[in-house]
Amino acid sequence: SSHHGEWSYDSDTGPMYWYYDHPQCNGTKQSPINIQENQAIYNDSLTPLLLFNYSTVFNNSNYYLTNNGHTVILGMDSNSSISVGLLWKGKQYNFFGLHFHWGENDTVGSEHLLSNKHFPLEVHIVHYLNDYGNFSNSLNYADGVLVWGIFYQLDNSIDVNNNSLKDVFNNIRNVINAGNKTNILPVPLSSFVPQNSLDSYYHYAGSLTTPECSESVLWIVNQKIMKVSSSQLQAFRLLKGHLHNVSDSVEPEVLTENDRPIQPLNGRKVFTSVP
Ligand code: B30
Ligand code: ZN
């Protein structure tokens, strides 16, 4: 939005420089991080996620994809009073939006790393604490936002014709330019998450991975991994980002990657729900 300075994933507006305009990006609790699996501490307070309406298809709501110049967001305008989200540690987090992070080739793309390993795609399901009323107010609190991160690994054997995500991935090509928006078929949020994922995750306290980099995010990083084909991945790399100056002319930048590099832990602990 207009209060942001230009920022991007390369050159002089890339992640190294975000803190010039967005000082929180230089904070001590930044995301993403490398999750070292053998250093994660078991914590029995990490009870299973309780989802509400993740499996519901709201046939009367508007589901859409939009390219905001930094990622593709899946959103829904729910005209019902029924909310979608999850309960965690007794607190209600409402669904805000879902988006994707990818890389220039299949060996990179995820923002978090698992024991130094990259995945080609990471989906972020963004929620805010119901008590704080809305997403932007939640950014003022250390426990205001909960992002559930899901890694996707390459698997060209997945049956893309019999996959509830087919329509979502097919519609990526309809939001090539920043600002584009297209409606999609209603899809339950559960389609983005592997089966039996509710009780096995990592958790740590961090930030938004893009400016303003607010340190208001409780991260849940899923241990089970989803699948994506190489042609589905390829569609993301054709997207265009914001306009930028290329030697005198102004051109849309190709969004070949949108993965912030890993950030220092600075003594933070990473917890696991699995003993
Ligand atoms: S992520 O999951 O950490 N990648 C946002 C949500 C999730 C992630 C990153 C960013 C997000 O919604 N950012 C926008 C926050 N804005 C709202 C706005 O419309 O424009 C608030 C802000 O300042 O921080 Cu400007
Ligand atoms: Zn994200």
State the ipTM, two decimals.
0.93
User: ∠ at Cα 123 (184, 157), nearest 5°?
Assistant: 80
pLDDT in tens, 36-88: 999 999 999 999 999 999 999 999 999 999 999 999 999 998 766 679 999 99
Stretch 160-189: mean pLDDT = 91
> Which pair of structure tokens corresponds to residue 253?
């930048």
Place of tokens 């990622």: 71
pLDDT of residue 80: 67
Say how far residue 104 (Cα) sits from the centre of its chain. Answer: 17
| Under 8 Å between Cβ of 120 and 132 | no
Q: How far is the CA of 257 from the centre of ligand 2 (A)?
A: 12
- Check pLDDT > 90 for residue 246: no
The per-residue pLDDT of the chain, averaged, comes to: 94
Residue nearest to atom 20 of ligand 1 (CA): 1
Active site annotation includes 70: yes
**pLDDT class of 242 with cuts at 50, 70, 90:** confident
Q: Return the closest-CA partner of residue 88 out of 219, 192, 187, 268.
A: 219
Helix (H, G, I), strand (E, B) or coil at 231: helix
Say how far residue 216 (Cα) sits from the centre of its chain. Answer: 15
Q: For 99, phi and psi rounded to 5 degrees?
A: -150, 180
DSSP 118: -
Indicate which residue of 3, 4, 22, 70 is catalytic: 70
- Check pLDDT > 70 for residue 3: no
pLDDT of residue 249: 73
pLDDT of residue 4: 58
pLDDT in tens, 82-134: 799 999 999 999 999 999 999 999 999 999 999 999 999 999 999 999 999 99
pLDDT of residue 161: 59
Place of tokens 């950030």: 263
Residue ranges with strand state E in 16-132 = 34-35, 41-42, 50-52, 62-67, 72-77, 85-88, 91-102, 113-114, 121-129
User: 160-194 as b/e, with b when 16 or more CB fall inside 10 Å?
Assistant: eeebebbebbebbeebeebebeeebeebebbbbbb
Q: Return the closest-CA partner of residue 210 out of 24, 67, 20.
A: 24
Q: Return the closest-CA partner of residue 181 out of 60, 57, 69.
A: 69
By percentage, how much of the chain surpasses pLDDT 90? 85
pLDDT in tens, 193-238: 999 999 999 999 999 999 999 999 999 999 999 999 999 999 999 9
- Check pLDDT > 60 for residue 260: yes
Name the pTM for this structure: 0.96
pLDDT of residue 1: 45
Residue of 30, 31, 126 with the most ligand 1 atoms within 8 Å of its CB, for mutation: 126
Lowest mean pLDDT among 79-88, 143-152, 180-189, 233-242: 79-88
pLDDT of residue 113: 98
First to last CA, the chain: 43
Stretch 155-165: mean pLDDT = 77
pLDDT of residue 253: 84
> In ligand 1, which atom is closest to the CA atom of 260?
4
Residue ranges with strand state E in 143-254 = 145-154, 181-184, 201-206, 217-222, 226-228, 240-246, 249-254
